[in-house]
């Protein structure tokens, strides 16, 4: 218990106490400031690493192919100060015609994290489409947690996202 108290004092964290004994483990840093991995992309509200959105995964592939697919530089498109990669010219063209339809919710950050008031990176394999919208999560364990009460987490995410987005754009 003493080590836990020291850890909590030294770095704020989110601990999912309700998950003890469930086999699901999450341990994600609570981010008060903009995370270091976003420092180079402060002019966009999207999850960008090295100027590429959502880890280079084709956002349209989730809808059309029903799975994540790595995008290719040959089918890149710039939108909202981020570089989006696509697996095919067809997917790229669909995105260009209606980016709001295919872009992930909450800037492509972990949907669970946003529902809790912070941002976290994503694993392209931890995803869901709910009511025609793409949601990404930190990892498969967090996705299972998110799926248990996704309507509430989506509602909370939509409440938190405007403030988070503003902080991202101001950094």
Give the pLDDT of residue 149.
98
Please write the tens of the pLDDT for every residue from 87-104: 999 999 999 999 999 999
Q: To the nearest whole percent, how much of the chain has pLDDT over 70?
A: 75
Spell 135-170 as b/e; 16+ CB within 10 A means b.
bbbbbebbbbbbeeebeebbebbeebbeebbebbee
pLDDT score of 42:
52
Model pLDDT for residues 121-162, shown as the tens digit of each residue: 999 999 999 999 999 999 999 999 999 999 999 999 999 999
Beta carbons of 150 and 130 less than 8 angstroms apart: yes
């Amino acid at each position: 218990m003493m080590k836990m108290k020291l850890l909590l004092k030294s770095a704020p964290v989110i601990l999912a106490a309700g998950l003890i004994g469930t086999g699901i483990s999450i341990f994600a840093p609570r981010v008060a400031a903009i995370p270091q991995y976003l420092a180079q992309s402060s002019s966009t509200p999207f999850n960008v690493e090295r100027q590429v959105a959502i880890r280079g995964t084709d956002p349209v592939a989730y809808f059309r192919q029903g799975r994540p697919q790595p995008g290719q530089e040959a089918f890149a498109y710039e939108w909202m100060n981020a570089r989006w990669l696509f697996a095919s010219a067809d997917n790229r063209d669909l995105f260009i015609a209606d980016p709001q339809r295919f872009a992930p919710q909450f800037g492509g950050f972990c949907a669970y994290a946003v529902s809790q008031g912070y941002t976290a990176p994503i694993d392209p394999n931890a995803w869901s489409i709910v009511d025609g919208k793409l949601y990404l999560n930190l990892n498969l364990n967090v996705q299972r947690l998110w799926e248990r009460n996704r309507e509430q987490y989506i509602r909370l995410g939509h409440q938190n996202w405007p403030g988070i987005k503003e902080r991202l754009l101001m950094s």
